[in-house]
Amino acid sequence: MPPWLPRAIVLALALVACFHVAEWAFHELYGLLINIVVAFFIGLACEPAVDRLAARGMRRGTATALVFLGVLAAAAAFIAALGSLVADQIRLIVENFPDYVESLVEWINEQFGTELRVDDLQQDFLKSDTVRDYLQRSADNVWGISTTVLGGLFTALTVVLFAFYFTAEGPRLRRAICSVLPPARQAEVLRAWEIAVAKTGGYLYSRGLMAIVSGVAHYIVMLLLDVPYAPALAVWVGVVSQFVPTVGTYIAGSLPILLAFTVGPWTALWLLGFVILYQQFENYLLQPRITARTVDVHPAVAFGSVVAGAALLGAVGALIAIPATATLQAFLSAYVRRYEVDERVHDDRPRRRRGGPVRLARMRTTLRRHPRRASGGDSGGDSRKNSGQDPGGPSGDAPRDT
């Protein structure tokens, strides 16, 4: 046996064991890593506001607390507005459910000639085995539902705590990371961090501003059209249309239009027209002016990044996909070297004749051979005399080509 073989075998086994341990640890800590990534992007988004408050003399921890309280208040207002809308709709459905059932039974009796009664159907429904099994499973799943709710609250608390740390201790964290890097790398890390903060915060702030404008505009129109739940629907339209790219406008506008049908078909039609007009106003006037100072992501790139983020990380990936894409786009624009494009090579105008490039090459060759003719020449007689001495061809061809 060669003397190096036992050591190589031990080294290979150690590497395989380390790989399996790392894979096991990654799967066990996958949820925590996702929470840290989400908290990091939240910290990047909140850091510009905290920096402005800290520049005015406020302590960084206090400034971070104020910013986070504002964000949590806005999220609570959004959830409360949608919760009131959903609760009112459920209450109306429960109150009108007996009328719905009686209308359905009467229609079935008229169409099929049956003699069904609501009381008999109610008794059969309550005594059926399907309902009993469903109630039993629901009772058994109460503990599971409670565990899921508690787990969601713990995850949200974890994200908030890490985001607060990344925001409040941002300068100290950057200093700690740069302390283990050589000076040449420190400048690159700080530059990349500043780009990420500027682009992520700028993108989210621009979307938030457009969400406020969209919500106010839709609220005024729905208030004029007497659409029910106008405040909650305005918040829904503003948030969903801005933070869900490409298809968010249609998802956000569908719910108000459906509720507008309860008022009347013409009300829904007027609201549909306003949604379409406002979308054009936002795409061509409002969005270019707001995103010109922050970051502008192409709609196709934004939609593709959301699809890719959802495929990789689910709903969390869809939420952080566009800020990550904006940061990557800023990195590429800062580090990738670009060159000027030759317009003659990339000319998109259609050519009228197939011989155009060949004729252009002949003209350039003739101009190089007769520089005095290209600049106007001395006189007509000298041109004729020189053309007779031209070794490039007969005297009649050069003037015709020129």
Work out the mean pLDDT of the chain and round it to a whole number. 77
User: Which run of H or E residues covers position 250?
Assistant: helix 248-260
Summarised one tens digit per residue, pLDDT across range 6-29 is 899 999 999 999 999 999 999 999
Q: What is the pLDDT at residue 401?
A: 46
Query: Which sign does the torsion angle of CA 390, 393, 395, 399 carry?
Result: negative
**What is d(CA 172, CA 166) in angstroms, rounded to the nearest whole number?**
9
Higher pLDDT, 203 or 366: 203
pLDDT tens sequence across 79-128: 887 777 777 777 777 777 777 778 887 888 888 877 777 777 677 666 66
User: Taking the domains of the chain in order of start, what are their residue ranges?
Assistant: 22-180, 187-295
DSSP state of 378: S
* Mean of pLDDT values over 386-399: 44
pLDDT band (50, 70, 90) for residue 356: low
**Helix axes 183-224 and 230-243, enclosed angle (nearest 10):** 150
Amino acid 390: pLDDT: 46
* Helix, coil or strand: residue 232: helix
Higher pLDDT, residue 318 or 45 = 45
Calpha distance 260→228 (Å, rounded) = 8
Q: What percent of the chain has pLDDT over 90?
A: 14
Q: Binning pLDDT at 50, 70 and 90, where does residue 395 land?
A: very low
Mean of the pLDDT values across residues 138-147? 66
CA atoms within 13 A on the CB side of 366: 18
Residue 299 has pLDDT above 50, yes or no: yes
Mean pLDDT value of segment 188-206: 80
Counting beta carbons within 10 angstroms of the beta carbon of residue 292, is it exposed (0 to 12), middle (13 to 18) or buried (19 or more)?
exposed
- What pLDDT band is residue 363 in, cutting at 50, 70 and 90? low
What pLDDT does 285 receive? 81
Residue 88: CB atoms within 10 A of its CB come to 13
